A and B are shown apart, each in its own frame.
Chain A
Amino acid sequence: MSRSPLVHGLRVARALFTSQYALMLEYRAEIALWALSGVLPLIMLGVWSGSGAGADAGLTPLQLARYFLAAFVVRQFTIVWVIQAFEEDNLQGRLSPYLLQPLPPLWRYLAAHLAEQVTRLPFVVVILALVALVLPGTLWWPSPLSFLLAVVATHLVFLLRFLIQSLITMACFWSERAAALERLQMIPYLFLSGLVAPLETFPEGMRALAFATPFPWMIWFPAGLLGGGQVDVAAGFGALLAWIALLLPLTLLLWKAGIRRYSAMGA
């Protein structure tokens, strides 16, 4: 047996990550397509750069371009699909073997997401290199501090999105088909996060409404950090940590209640 819980935890993390990374490399063509399918911010960049609408919000074309490129990068590392994986495993009965091991299944899904992000990285670099060729002068080097803050914020965003999806995933224990609920939250996520338009361009009332939700902190805030936008660093990290602190115990509570209800469908 391993000597300490920390050593044991690290061994499990390494084993899970390496196996999931190996699995992701089996699907590298699929991941290239996923990376390509996440180019919505780049499409929005094309839409906005021609319209000149950013000027009304005080954004220059270069600032807009950098915002959407940063949003693209943040989006690539905050994509979460735990609900689809869990629902499939639940319906196919694959969840039962996971539940019989002394490791909460959510760790497996977390490892799979991290492995996928590492697999995604080269494709993101290639896409950015292509953008640099097509739009010379658009790419920039963020300051080391901005870069570091953006990396930390992106990881927190990933954790927050993972928790939100896990919370919805727990509905699988009651409804068996929870992915429909996930689609409901995709609409506010798309519009309020800043994926389609930077929050500076929102009408005042709409912006206030957006900031009452966790969504702007998921794209607008880390993209602003990375792209050199005007963002309140303390408020952004505070909001992310507060939402995580709220959702983490809720997810754990629902997990315990859900397990009680689990009827091992199809197992």
Chain B
Amino acid sequence: MPIIRAEGLTKTYRVADKQPGLRGTLRHFFARRSREVPAVKDVSFSIEAGEIVGFLGPNGAGKTTTLKMLSGLIHPTAGRVEVAGHVPYRRQGSFLRSISLVMGQKQQLIWDLPPLDSLRVNAAVYGLDDARAKRRITELAEMLELGDELSRPVRKLSLGERMKAELLAALLHRPSVLFLDEPTLGLDVNAQARVRDFLADINRRTGTTVLLTSHYMGDITALCPRVLLIHQGHLFHDGPLDELTERLAPCREVRLELKDPAPAEAFAGYGAVESCQGHQVRLLIPRDRLTGAVARLLADFAVVDLEVSEPPVEELIGRLFRQGVVA
């Protein structure tokens, strides 16, 4: 039985509609006008307990709105949603004790106090006795490689340390579902990797279901066997990441280093020319024609080096959204 189930989930926001300039300001003051902006449209999916699912999409696609509906922060305009056996927006205590939401740009830790003070409050709120709270803090701190940081004011911590402390606070009560909204935003590469390792570890150890939105494809490729791709409020893809890349890009990227420079037109018959700068050429060639095209390239040009790879997923998705293919 799925732990998360959304059927026809829809959210429409009502936003103020104000024209610029003095006239618009006066009109807005005397007769407010608003319009409805659909953020999520008829989205359906289900997630089994213990899964790690990536939630992909450009800014404004509806990812965060969906997370807010799943965590019970906002009411859906239409559709049905169930998380851990509860209707989230009823916000019953047993539901709130079974979930956690971490937002990369927002914090639950008290800014001017050490994380330990916030953790003590969380332990009391979630009904953990002192011994159990201490045990869990020690265990999670070890996994997150946190030590003295827990005794320093949050404002003195680095971004990476702060995010790790936020994760500790979010997981102290052992939620069965963890929602993560851009948990690695702004972190350096090492900190990102540590957060990813921790999430994979916690999922393996405790079976916590994780739904993760991220701008960094590294997070998605490292953690999520399954992805949901949302665009303009619609669910565009629900399945393995490989399937998505295959669907978006049945091509491979071929990088050539030539002995002598050649014009871009010279490669038109081999595939799509992505770039051609002097000795460096980048082509996208359909997979079914890859072997033949590479053989011809080697025969027709003086090639110093050749590399075949899958194009970066973020580039494929970015290109797709720019081209409006997913409308």
A→B interface (CB under 8 Å) = 1-2, 8, 11-12, 14-16, 18-19, 22-23, 26-27, 92-94, 96-103, 259-260, 262-264, 267
Chain A proximity of B246: nearest CB distance (Å): 35
Give chain A residues whose Cβ lies under 8 Å from the Cβ of B112: 23, 26-27
Question: What does the 1/0 interface line of B113-135 toward A look like (CB < 8 Å)?
Answer: 10001101111111111000000
What is the bound-complex CA distance between A99 and B129, given in angstroms? 22
A15→B124 contact, CB < 8 A: yes
Judged by a CB distance under 8 angstroms, whether B235 is at the interface is: no
B75, A102: Cβ atoms under 8 Å?
no
Chain B hits for A93, CB < 8 A: 103, 105-106
Looking at the assembled complex, report how far the CB atom of B274 sits from the nearest CB atom of chain A, in whole angstroms. 39
Contact residues of A: prevailing secondary structure? helix
Q: Known A-B contacts: A19-B117, A94-B106, A262-B74. Give 15 more (CB < 8 A).
A: A1-B127, A1-B129, A2-B129, A12-B121, A12-B125, A15-B124, A18-B120, A19-B120, A22-B113, A96-B106, A99-B73, A100-B71, A102-B125, A102-B126, A263-B13
Q: How far is the CA of A102 from the CA of B112 in the complex (A)?
A: 23
Q: Once bound together, how far apart are the Cα atoms of A16 and B117, in whole Å?
A: 9
How distant is B4 from chain A, measured CB to nearest CB, in Å? 16
User: Number of B residues contacting the other chain (C-beta, 8 Å)?
Assistant: 35
Are the CB atoms of A267 and B127 closer together than 8 Å? no
- Contact partners of B93 in chain A: CB under 8 A: 102
Residues of the A chain whose Cβ atoms lie less than 8 Å from the Cβ of B97 = 102
Alpha-carbon gap, A263 to B108, bound state (A): 18
B304 at the interface (CB under 8 A from A): no
Which listed residue (B72, B117, B129) contacts A100, Cβ 8 A? B72
Residues on A with beta carbons closer than 8 Å to the beta carbon of B53: none
Q: With the chains together, A100 CA to B173 CA distance in Å?
A: 13
Query: Could you tell me if A100 and B106 are in contact, using CB atoms closer than 8 angstroms?
Result: no
- Contact check, A101 vs B96: say whether CB atoms are below 8 A apart: yes
Q: How far does the Cβ of A222 sit from chain B's closest Cβ, in whole Å? A: 32
Contact B96 A15 (CB under 8 A): no
User: Which residues 97-115 of B have a CB within 8 angstroms of A?
Assistant: 97, 99-101, 103, 105-108, 110, 112-113
Q: Which residues of B contact A96 (CB under 8 A)?
A: 68, 73, 101, 103, 106
Is A8 a contact partner of B96 (Cβ separation < 8 A)? Answer: no
Give the residues in chain B near A101, CB-CB below 8 Å: 96, 122, 125-126
B103: which A residues are within 8 A, CB to CB?
93, 96-97, 267
Contact between chains at A264 and B101 (CB < 8 Å): no
Rounded to whole angstroms, the CA-CA distance of A18 and B114 in the bound complex is 13
Q: Chain A contacts of B68 at CB under 8 A?
A: 96, 264, 267
Task: Enumerate chain B residues within 8 angstroms of A99, measured Cβ to Cβ.
Answer: 73, 91
Chain A nearest CB from B5 CB (Å) reads 20
Pick the residue among B75, B106, B121, B128 that contacts A260 (CB under 8 A): B75
Are A263 and B74 touching (Cβ within 8 A)? yes
In the complex, chain A residues whose CB is within 8 Å of the CB of B125: 12, 15, 101-103
On whether the beta carbons of A19 and B118 are closer than 8 Å, the reply is yes
> Which residue in chain A gives the minimum CB-CB distance to B118?
A19
Verify A15–B127 contact, CB threshold 8 A. Answer: no
Chain B residues near A263: list those with CB within 8 A.
13, 74
Shortest CB–CB separation between residue B245 and chain A, in angstroms? 31
Closest 8 CB pairs of A and B: A97-B108, A15-B124, A102-B93, A102-B96, A1-B127, A11-B124, A12-B124, A264-B73
A2 to B100: give the CA distance in the assembly, Å. 20
Chain B residues whose CB sits within 8 angstroms of the CB of A11 once the complex forms: 124
- The closest CB in chain A to the CB of B169 belongs to A97
> Per-residue 0/1 for B55-76: is the Cβ within 8 Å of any A Cβ (1 yes, 0 no)?
0000000001000100111110
How far apart sit A15 and B116, CA to CA, in the bound complex (Å)? 11
Flag if B106 contacts A97 (CB, 8 Å).
yes
> Which residues on A sit within 8 Å (CB–CB) of B73?
96, 99-100, 262, 264, 267
Q: CA A258 – CA B202 in complex, angstroms?
A: 36
User: In the bound complex, how far is the Cα of B105 from the Cα of A22, in angstroms?
Assistant: 25
23 contacts between A and B (CB under 8 A): A1-B129, A2-B127, A18-B117, A18-B120, A19-B117, A22-B117, A23-B112, A26-B112, A27-B112, A93-B103, A93-B105, A96-B101, A96-B106, A97-B103, A100-B71, A100-B101, A101-B126, A102-B93, A102-B125, A262-B74, A263-B13, A264-B73, A267-B64
